[in-house]
């Protein structure tokens, strides 16, 4: 696993976003624009994790360039600004969260519970924002420089949107959720199959601090809005048709001991044969549950209680 002292290239750094704090909804850092015409309500959400800077770039692009919906309603939000403001270039991975993972607390049990943290306070504050949206794009990035990919529950409505947009061209499909908590895109009706819910997807746009991730986040945000008719997209800006690769999430392996170690350095999308050893966690072995088992999001460091690795299979 990586050393805490390994510093990635920092091509994109945080900027002061305090000018966006007031918003226009009564909720800090939440901006809403209504067209006055019938149409869907689309939420573009950034900074669910404080160090995932590409979302900030995309959200500020929408606001700075005056993007407004032709139909329906557009909401642009910056979620975990408190963590974002804790960024330290000498430890750029450390402000992902302050106490809880803001992308695992979107269940009624957490939101209506008695625990308190910066993340729970912000989730409770943003709860009506997420609940009001018909379609949600939650912008994320990865610690390793891997190809961008979608993440979404295995509902037809999500797959249809991701496939229609076409980029990213890789999909991680969750038939049973993440297995480590409830993410924002599965809050309330968005976590249910059928009914009135629209599409709710995560776009993992690439390594946190690369310009290419910021560019991808901006492109995907515009593509998402264009897909639902809120804006026009220049045909020259649309992604060329490329083969789509889809993976089904089989297991989320949590880190149980500080001795969690992979058998070799992993960045993501490596494959293992059925039964092949992937990692050890103290006395426990993590082995591939199938042939062509593909690992995603391998942990940089063994932090007990956090995800160690996602195990998937090609669909």
- The residues with which 53 forms a beta bridge, in sequence order, are none
Q: Where residue 89 sits, what CATH number does that domain have? A: 3.40.630.10
Question: b vs e for 301-312, b when ≥16 Cβ sit within 10 Å of the residue's Cβ?
Answer: ebeeebbbbbbb
65-121 confidence digits (pLDDT tens): 999 999 999 999 999 999 999 999 999 999 999 999 999 999 999 999 999 999 999
- The residues with which 24 forms a beta bridge, in sequence order, are none
Instruction: Specify whether 164 is located in the same domain as 134.
Output: yes
Cβ atoms of residues 250 and 173 within 8 Å: no
182-200 confidence digits (pLDDT tens): 999 999 999 999 888 899 9
**Residue 70, SS3?**
coil
Kindly state whether residue 81 falls inside one of the protein's structural domains: yes
Phi, psi of 59 (to 5 degrees): -65, -45
Residue-range definition of the domain harbouring residue 225:
18-237
9-19 confidence digits (pLDDT tens): 899 999 999 99
Cβ atoms of residues 250 and 314 within 8 Å: no
**What is the rounded average pLDDT for all residues in the chain?**
95
Q: Where residue 289 sits, what CATH number does that domain have? A: 2.40.50.630
Residue 3 has what pLDDT?
Answer: 52
Q: Write down the pTM of the prediction.
A: 0.95
216-270 confidence digits (pLDDT tens): 999 999 999 999 999 998 777 766 778 999 999 999 999 999 999 999 999 999 9
Out of 206, 237, 268, pick the residue that ends a domain.
Answer: 237
Instruction: Specify whether 26 is located in the same domain as 162.
Output: yes
Instruction: Specify whether 48 is located in the same domain as 176.
Output: yes
How many residues would you count in the chain? 315
Instruction: Specify whether 252 is located in the same domain as 229.
Output: no
Cβ atoms of residues 313 and 247 within 8 Å: yes
Q: Which two tokens stand for residue 129?
A: 């924002």
32-71 confidence digits (pLDDT tens): 999 999 999 999 999 999 999 999 999 999 999 999 999 9
Instruction: Specify whether 151 is located in the same domain as 205.
Output: yes
Taking the C-alpha atoms of residue 193 and residue 89, their distance in angstroms, rounded to an integer, is: 41
Cβ atoms of residues 314 and 291 within 8 Å: no
Kindly state whether residue 11 falls inside one of the protein's structural domains: no
Report the number of distinct structural domains present in the chain. 2
Residue 5 has what pLDDT?
Answer: 52
Out of 172, 203, 237, pick the residue that ends a domain.
Answer: 237
What is the helix (H) or strand (E) element at residue 34, kind and residue range?
A: strand 30-34
Average pLDDT over residues 291-313: 97
pLDDT > 70: what percent of the chain? 97
7 pLDDT band (50/70/90 cuts)?
A: confident
| Omega within 30 of 0 (cis) for the link into 168 | yes
């Amino acid at each position: 696993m990586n050393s805490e002292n390994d510093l990635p290239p920092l091509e994109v750094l945080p900027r002061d976003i305090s000018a966006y704090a007031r918003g226009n909804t009564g909720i800090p850092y939440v901006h809403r624009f209504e067209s006055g015409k019938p149409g869907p309500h689309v939420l573009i959400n950034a900074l669910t994790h404080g160090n995932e800077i590409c979302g900030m770039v995309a959200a500020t692009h929408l606001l700075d360039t005056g993007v407004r919906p032709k139909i329906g309603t557009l909401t642009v939000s910056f979620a975990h600004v408190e963590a974002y403001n804790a960024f330290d270039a000498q430890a750029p991975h450390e402000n992902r969260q302050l106490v809880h993972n803001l992308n695992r607390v979107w269940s009624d049990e957490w939101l209506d519970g008695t625990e308190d943290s910066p993340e729970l306070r912000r989730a409770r504050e943003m709860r009506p924002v997420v609940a009001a949206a018909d379609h949600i794009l939650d912008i994320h990035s990865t610690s390793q420089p891997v190809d961008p990919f979608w993440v979404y529950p295995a509902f037809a409505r999500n797959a249809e949107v991701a496939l229609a947009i076409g980029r990213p061209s890789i999909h991680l499909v969750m038939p049973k959720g993440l297995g480590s908590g409830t993410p924002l895109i599965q809050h309330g009706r968005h976590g249910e199959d059928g009914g009135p819910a629209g599409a709710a997807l995560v776009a993992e746009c690439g390594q946190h601090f690369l310009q290419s991730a910021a560019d991808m986040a901006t492109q995907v945000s515009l593509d998402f809005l264009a897909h639902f008719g809120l804006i026009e997209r220049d045909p020259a800006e649309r992604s060329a048709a490329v083969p789509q690769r889809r993976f089904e999430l089989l297991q989320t392996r949590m880190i149980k001991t500080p001795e969690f170690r992979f058998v070799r350095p992993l960045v993501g999308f490596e494959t293992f044969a059925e039964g092949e050893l992937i990692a050890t966690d103290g006395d426990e072995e993590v082995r591939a549950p199938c042939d062509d088992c593909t690992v995603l999001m391998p942990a940089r460091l063994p932090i007990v209680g956090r995800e160690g690795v996602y195990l998937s299979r090609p669909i």
